[in-house]
Amino acid sequence: ETGVTQTPRHLVMGMTNKKSLKCEQHLGHNAMYWYKQSAKKPLELMFVYSLEERVENNSVPSRFSPECPNSSHLFLHLHTLQPEDSALYLCASSQDRSEEKLFFGSGTQLSVL
Amino acid sequence: GQNIDQPTEMTATEGAIVQINCTYQTSGFNGLFWYQQHAGEAPTFLSYNVLDGLEEKGRFSSFLSRSKGYSYLLLKELQMKDSASYLCAAGVGGATNKLIFGTGTLLAVQP
């Protein structure tokens, strides 16, 4: 148990669906992250939030929309995804934006049909 | 550019020692992380090296050479539960940290 909880663990969606991934951290951290993990590829940083403010967006398509309502919760809203978006989406948190040690959730395995 | 290289797969025998290498080429470098990820689970922190040398933590040790852009993770007395993916990551940020990850090394421990 890393203190970071993600739901759902698995998600199958069609290209016209809208769904949301949820992440909650119980560590009192101030920074939260979304990563994409595809088979045989390095983890790709998607978004970074620090104190509920988005501080980084790594050229992610607009069909991915993050939301951070408070420092403990992070969402990733998905709409009109493509099959190549199928991957494991990992949430992580750290004490603050300058802290490099990350605590990861178990991820949401997403399949886009 | 930023680049991290590590082997894709390795196989070792229970009770043996295995060394997983990682080389990095980055602009800006703060330190080197190793994470362990079992299938279907969260990556978990194993070690962090900032200075050159070997850091030992139980059965796991991690080494860093900043001048060579090289690190390794050493696992001793291998157990079946050590079968997992091992992720090497370089910290390259300053005030706004950033981790550059390798593709991970999938280690299979056989009886």
What is the SS3 string spanning A78-103? EECCCHHHCEEEEEEEECCCCCCCCE
Q: What is the dihedral of CA A100, A105, A108, A109, to 10 degrees?
A: 80
- Would you place residue A52 in the very low, low, confident or very high pLDDT band (cuts 50, 70, 90)? confident
In A, minimum Cα distance to B5 occurs at A42
Whether A90 contacts chain B with CB within 8 A: yes
Mean pLDDT, chain A, integer: 92
Average pLDDT over residues A15-24: 94
- Catalogue the E-assigned strands of chain B: 3-5, 9-13, 18-25, 31-37, 44-49, 53-57, 60-65, 70-75, 84-91, 99-101, 105-110
Lowest mean per-residue pLDDT among A47-51, A86-90, A108-112: A47-51
In the predicted structure, residue A57 carries a pLDDT above the cut 90: no
* B14, B78 contact by CB (below 8 A): yes
Taking the CA atoms of B53, B58, B59 and B60 in sequence, report the sign of the dihedral they define.
negative
Instruction: Say how many CB pairs under 8 Å bridge A and B.
Output: 57
Instruction: Tell if the CB–CB gap between A101 and B30 is shorter than 8 Å.
Output: no
Position A46 confidence tier, pLDDT thresholds 50, 70, 90: very high
Q: Checking DSSP bridges between strand A44-50 and strand A53-57, what pairing results, if any?
A: antiparallel
Q: Please list the pLDDT of chain B residue by residue as tens digits (111 residues).
A: 788 999 999 999 999 999 999 999 988 888 999 999 999 889 999 999 999 999 999 999 999 999 999 999 999 999 999 999 999 999 887 655 688 999 999 999 999
Which residue type is seen at B77? E
Average pLDDT over residues A12-40: 93
**Beta bridge pairs of residue B91:** B31, B99
Between chains, do A97 and B4 touch, taking CB under 8 Å as contact? no
| pLDDT over threshold 80, residue A42 | yes
Supply the pLDDT for residue B97: 64
pLDDT score of A56 more than 80: no
CA atoms within 13 A on the CB side of B44: 9
CB B32 within 8 A of CB B64: yes
Task: Name the residue of chain B whose CA is nearest to A36's CA.
Answer: B101
Closest CA to B100 of B24, B41, B48: B24
**CA distances to A54, A84, B65 from A110, in Å:** 23, 10, 38
Least Cα distance to A91 among A76, A80, A79, A77 occurs for A76
Q: Give the DSSP letter of residue A42.
A: -
Task: Tell me if chain B has a CB within 8 Å of the CB of A4.
Answer: yes
Are residues A20 and A78 in contact, defined by beta-carbon separation less than 8 angstroms? yes
Those residues with Cβ within 8 angstroms of residue A71's Cβ, 6 or more apart along the chain or in another chain: A29, A30, A32, A51, A52
The predicted model gives A65-87 an average pLDDT of 95
